């Protein structure tokens, strides 16, 4: 199966429960950023630029756990920054799993091999660790491409060593690859082969989007894809990578290829970081709210998305549109395609 059965069952129960009580907007994944400091300086990353004044700050574990409870989302994506340099990462993971949540721990992989033994020790105490903790390792291409983007020689090999160590230890491992104008589909095919041999459970592909925090120079702006370029690239990807374990759902992949429209559902993936609840979405910042309720009720969601806000013109990111593919793809054909895709 493409995703663990426990995650699918938990998410399905949660969504049915929310709809039973008539909730129109509810979170699916909490994007939790306990810190923004990082041990890499990637070309397309906006966090180290937007939050340059708070790179030395971090949330307390208690604040993180309160945010998990406040949102109620069944999945928590612990990101940043680089979460493996968060001093209390083991305590945070343990506390979150004990709340019955599933975790995607997003990392650049530079410390994965080094820190893995601590998570293995935790798994002896908390049996949920290997069933509900999924590593999500950022790999932007094969070695030459990846090292160029993250601006560190040897970074790809270090990340792959961590990936293989995590698989040997019995963890679920997924990867996240950001695509830029210069990204070659040939390189993606080769990367997919490498990851398949390493036993990676799934490969997420995200179209590089030029939001304000990453547009730091004219050269930097030139690496990001327009909406039409995204569709063109993903049409080729859909053909050439169909035999690999891509994590984009069929409806979302149709959207990325320009074959269907989806509304933005950024409210389903709320972001909590050092400054508060980030509004309106993971990438664009208008305001930070103190509470989740303020965030969800005070943001004008009718003005967010393609054709509504010029800042969203070239955005086809999973943080806004992947949840929409799940929430609004209710046709029987969509559900059948989703079931076949999951077990394939």
- Mean of the pLDDT values across residues 206-224? 70
Taking the CA atoms of residue 6, residue 292, residue 175 and residue 208 in that order, the dihedral angle to the nearest 10 degrees is 140
Q: Tell which wins on pLDDT, 213 or 145.
A: 145
Q: What is the pLDDT of residue 215?
A: 55
Say if residues 74 and 68 touch (Cβ distance below 8 Å): no
Q: What pLDDT does residue 220 have?
A: 57
Confidence of residue 221 (pLDDT cuts 50, 70, 90): low
Element (H, E) at 203: strand 202-207
Place of tokens 């989703």: 338
The CA distance from 129 to 13, in Å, is 21
**For residue range 168-182, what is the model confidence (pLDDT) as tens digits?**
999 999 999 999 999
Q: Provide the 10 A C-beta neighbour count for residue 286.
A: 13
Residue 209: its pLDDT value, please? Answer: 84
pLDDT in the model for residue 130: 94
Distances (CA, A) of 86 to 38, 57, 82, 92, 273: 10, 10, 7, 9, 13
pTM for the whole thing?
A: 0.94
Dihedral sign of CA atoms 215, 216, 218, 221 in order: negative
At 212, the pLDDT band (50, 70, 90 cuts) reads: low
CATH 3.50.30.50 fits 5-343, yes or no: no
Q: In what order do the strands lie in the sheet with 271-273?
A: 202-207, 172-179, 133-138, 102-107, 75-78, 29-32, 271-273, 276-280, 285-289
Q: Is 339 exposed, middle or buried (0-12, 13-18, 19+ CB in 10 A)?
A: exposed
Segment 10-20, tens digit of pLDDT: 998 999 999 88
pLDDT digits (tens, 9 = 90+) for 314-341: 999 999 999 999 888 767 888 788 888 8
Q: How far apart are the C-alpha atoms of 81 and 35, rounded to whole Å?
A: 6
Kindly tell me the sign of the dihedral angle through the C-alpha atoms of 18, 68, 133, 127: negative
Q: Which of 233, 234, 226 is nearest to 253 (CA)?
A: 234
Rounded Cα distance, 82 and 277, in Å: 19
Residue 318 has what pLDDT? 92
CA 120 to CA 298: how far, in whole Å?
A: 42
């Amino acid at each position: 199966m493409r995703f663990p059965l426990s995650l699918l069952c938990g998410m399905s129960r949660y969504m049915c429960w929310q709809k039973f009580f008539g909730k129109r907007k509810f979170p699916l994944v909490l994007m939790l950023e306990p810190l923004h400091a990082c041990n890499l300086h990637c070309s397309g990353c906006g966090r180290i630029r937007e939050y340059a004044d708070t790179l030395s700050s971090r949330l307390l574990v208690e604040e993180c756990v309160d945010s998990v409870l406040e949102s109620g989302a069944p999945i928590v994506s612990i990101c940043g920054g680089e979460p493996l340099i968060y001093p209390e990462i083991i305590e945070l993971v343990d506390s979150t799993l004990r709340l019955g949540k599933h975790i995607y721990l997003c990392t650049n992989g530079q410390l994965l091999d080094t820190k893995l033994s601590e998570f293995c020790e935790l798994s002896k105490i908390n049996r949920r660790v290997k069933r509900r903790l999924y590593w999500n390792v950022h790999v932007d291409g094969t070695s030459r491409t990846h090292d160029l983007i993250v601006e560190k020689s040897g970074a790809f090999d270090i990340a792959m060593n961590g990936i293989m160590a995590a698989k040997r230890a019995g963890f679920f491992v997924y990867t996240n690859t950001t695509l830029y104008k210069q990204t070659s589909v040939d390189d993606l095919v080769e990367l997919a082969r490498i990851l398949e041999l390493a036993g990676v459970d799934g490969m997420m592909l995200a179209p590089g989007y030029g939001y304000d925090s990453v547009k730091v120079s004219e050269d930097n702006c030139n690496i990001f894809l327009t909406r039409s370029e995204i569709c063109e690239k993903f049409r080729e990807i859909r053909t050439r990578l169909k035999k690999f374990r891509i994590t984009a759902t069929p409806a979302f992949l149709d959207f990325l290829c320009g074959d269907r429209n989806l509304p933005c559902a950024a409210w389903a993936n709320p972001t909590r970081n050092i400054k508060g609840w980030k509004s309106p979405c993971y990438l664009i910042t208008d305001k930070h709210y103190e509470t989740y309720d303020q965030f969800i009720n005070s943001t004008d969601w009718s003005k967010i998305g393609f054709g509504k806000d010029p800042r969203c013109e070239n955005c086809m990111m999973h943080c806004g549109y992947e949840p929409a593919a799940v929430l609004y793809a209710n046709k029987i054909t969509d559900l059948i395609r989703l079931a076949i895709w999951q077990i394939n």
